[in-house]
Each structure stands twice: as C-alpha cells, then as structure tokens.
Structure 1
Amino acid sequence: MPNTLLGLFAKSPIKPLEEHISKVHECCENLVPFFEAVFADDWDKAAHYRANINTLEKEADKLKRNIRLNLPSGLFMPVQRSDLLELLTHQDRIANKAKDISGRVVGRQLYIPKELHELFLPYLKRCLDATAKAREAINELEDLLETGFRGRELDLVTNMIAQLDQIEDDTDTMQIGLRQGLRALESQINPVDVMFLYNMIEKVGELADQALRVGARLELMIFRA
C-alpha cells in the first residue's frame, strides 16, 4: 500500500507545477543581463536576451497548458484542483510580466539614465529574490503534502512565505528611492520617456508583487488542508 497521499494516484500533479515555476524563474533571471545590455546601449545583446525571455515564457506557457489538460480531477486529489489551477495562474503571470518588461524596453529602446543604474540593478535583483523564494516554496509542496501539512515541513514553508513578505517590503522601499531619483532627473529627459520609465519601474516591482501572490495562494491552500 502507498504510504503517502500522492501514492493514491498514478502521476503527481505537483512535479509539473514545480517544473513550471522553475521555468518562470529562469525566464525572469534573463532580465539581469538584459538590463546590463540596455545600460551599455548594446541593443543587439538586449534583443538576444529579450528573445531568450520570449522563448522561456513560451515554454512556461506550454507547461501551463499541459498541466491544465492533465491535472487529475478525481476523488483522491490531496488538494482542491481549483487551488492548484489558481496557483498555476499566479506563477504564469510572473513570466508574462518579464516578457512585457523586456518588450516595452526594446520596443522603445528606452534610455535609462546612468544616475539610476546603481539603484536599479539591486532593485531588480531583489525582485528576483522574490521569484526565487516563490520557486523554493513551491518546490516544498510535494513534501508538504506527504506530511499532511504538518510538522517541520509546514514551519519551513510558512517561514518562506514570511520571507516573501519581507522581500516585497524591501522592493517597495527600493522603488520609492528609484522614483525619487527619477523625479530629480525629470527636467533632463523626454517627458514621454519619463512616463515609460516610471511604468517600467512599476512593472519590475510587480514581479515581486506577483511572487507574493504565489505565496499567498500557497498559504491559503495550507489553511484549507
């Protein structure tokens, strides 16, 4: 007899979810060399990383569709199917945002003032800390299910979700600093570019916001178990 809940059905629905969040995070990681190329005014290299982001987002989309088509709906699902699908949707939106950010920057060949570079990269990397932490939490989901949402594994995942909250708070603070830096430069920049820059800063912050939503959905799943 199987000794875990996941042994009740032939194929775990959790492994594909873990594969998806890993692909999503990989997609987002390309934003670092992408923006480094933008800072260097190397638009050919930026376009290369933009293409990487597009490819990885499409691969994540394919994984998403496969999960939706093959997710079990029978009696022995250890968690609600709707919860897993909602979790998948929140994961997928992270990759969509990375694609949107890179597309807007390349499409306009958006100039990012040198005065913002030292503030921007740490901000971006902190947002990616959030996507990495979301991946880490999702990768614990199968073990969490096997323990019946109890014990050390529950404490571990709950702590990861709390860390996501802290990371998102950090990115909010860093975004304020970036906005203040941009405000001081507004008179030196094309007004339309200023609008695009504010939007781009906000969109990068949404990576962390969306990663936090993944954690919140996982937390809700735990409470329902």
Structure 2
Amino acid sequence: MAVKPAISDVISNSPLALLERHAAVCVDCVERLPLYFAEAQANRWGRAGDVRNEICRYEGLADELKQDVRSNLPRSLWMSISRADLLDLVRVQDKMANGVKEVSGISLGRQLAFPGAMTSGLTDFIGLVVQASRTTVKIISATRELSRSAFGARQTKVILDLVAQVEADERRSDEMQADLRAQLREHESELPAVDAIFLYQLLAAIGDIGNSAEKVAHRAQIIATS
C-alpha cells in the first residue's frame, strides 16, 4: 500500500503543486457566482442560499489549503522560487474565493437582486470574471511545468500569452462594469436608497474578483521570469 506523502514533502518537492490546487479550489468558488446570481435574479432565494453554502464550503477549503502552504513551506529551500513570492501568490489567489463569499453574502443577506433589465449585462460581466479566473489556473499549472524545465525562454512565452489573456479580460470587465453602473444609475429612482448603495458595492466587489485574478497572473509572471 502506497504511503501518502506529508504536505511538507509535497511542497518541498514541488512548491507550486499545492498552490495550483489552491488556485483550482478558488476558481471552483468563483464558478458558483453565475449560478448564484441566476437564482438571485429569479428571486429564488432558497436556491440562492444553497449555492451560497457551496461557495462557503469551497472558500473554507481554500483557507485550509492556504494555511497548509503557510504552515509547511520551509523557510529555506534549494529552489529558484522565493518563499516570499509563493506566499504572496497564495495570498492573492485566496482573494478570489474571499470575494465570491463577500458578494454572495451581501446579496443573500439583504435578498438583493439587480433590476431585471440588467440581468443580461450582469451575466456577461460575471462570465468574463469567471473566464479570467479560470485562466489563472492554467497560468499556475504552466508555471509549475516551466519550473521543471528551468524556466526556458520558449516555455515562458506560454505564461506571458496567458497573462495577456487575463489582462484583456480584465480591461473588458472594467468597461462592462462601467456600463452596468450607468444602467444602475438609470434605475436608482425605482430602488430604496440603501439597496442602490449596496448594488453599486456588489458591482465593485465582483470587479475586484477580476482584479484579483489579474494580480495572480502578474505574480505568476514574476515567478516565471525571475
């Protein structure tokens, strides 16, 4: 029977392996956001609560993996990746999952949905944020593979191309967020003032998830090109 290696052994042999797993769990969390808002926009708050529970479960798992990295990453490793860079990477990855938990919590806590006319644009906006987040897993995976090949210039281009994709998605999501804010402004008179304030906060918080994905991409790029 094979003996399962200790987490510290896994990290020592491949320090990016657990970060790749952590990134994947964070993205699992982000991928629940479209489903959450599909239920919220339809005023199916019971189902929205079920999705929120899934989000919390994935966010909790991401926190556990983050602690595994922080607790078991040796302070002195014979490798080309600095401990500080790895800790910074896991920190910004975790913000993606934290952001989803925050967004869904605000919405569910107040049973707050966007005006129906905004549903299509909101869906596209969230979809682009999810797309950028998914690409970060590819970047971490590619960085892990590149670390095995001594970070060759040709292999590094793979990461740079993926980073460019995330940057393009993030620029587009910023434009979509601005459009949605303008649409929301048109509906302000139909909404309680407090609800309008929270809806603006939700748009900003969803955008921050995309910002976190871009930061993950940039941190991985630093590792790949250092």
What TM-score, normalized by structure 1, do the two folds share? 0.93
CA contact (8 A) 1:28 1:95 kept: yes
2:209 is aligned with 1:170:
no
Report if the CA contact (8 A) 2:23-2:93 is conserved.
yes
Q: Confirm or deny: 8 A CA contact 1:27 1:53 kept in the other structure.
A: yes
Match of 1:187 among 164, 186, 189: 189
After TM superposition, give the deviation of residue 72 of structure 1 in Å: 2.9
1:26 aligns with 2:24: no
Q: Deviations over 1:102-150 (max 9, x none)?
A: 0000001003110100110000010111111111101111111112221
Taking a change above 3 Å as real, the CA distance of residues 139 and 96 of structure 1, as seen in their structure-2 partners, is: same
In the TM superposition, 1:104-183 aligns within 5 A as 104-183=106-185
Tell whether the 8 Å contact from 1:26 to 1:56 is kept in structure 2 after alignment. Answer: yes
Give the equivalent residue in structure 2 for 1:101: 103
Q: 1:166 to 1:29 in 2, by over 3 A?
A: same
Aligned equivalent of 1:204:
206
Q: Would you say the 8 A contact 2:12–2:77 is kept in 1? A: no
List gaps (5 residues or longer) in structure 2. 1-10
Task: Give the secondary structure class of the aligned counterpart of 1:166.
Answer: helix
Q: Counterpart in 1 of 2:40? A: 38
Report the residue type matching 1:72 in the other structure.
P
- For residues 29-83 of structure 1, the C-alpha deviation after alignment (integer angstroms, 9 at most, x for no partner) is 1111110000110100000000000010000000110111111333412210110
Q: Could you list the runs of 5+ residues in structure 1 that have no partner in the other structure?
A: 1-8
Q: Secondary structure at the match of 2:79?
A: coil
**What is the CA–CA distance in structure 2 between the aligned matches of 1:17 and 1:10, rounded to whole Å?**
12
Question: Which residue number in structure 2 is paired with residue 14 of structure 1?
Answer: 16
Structure 2 residue matching 1:140: 3-state secondary structure? helix
Q: Is the CA contact 2:156–2:225 (under 8 Å) kept in the aligned structure 1? A: no
SS of equivalent to 2:136: helix
RMSD: 1.2
Aligned length: 216
Q: Could you say which residue in structure 2 is the equivalent of 1:92?
A: 94
Q: Distance in 1 between matches of 2:80 and 2:144?
A: 10
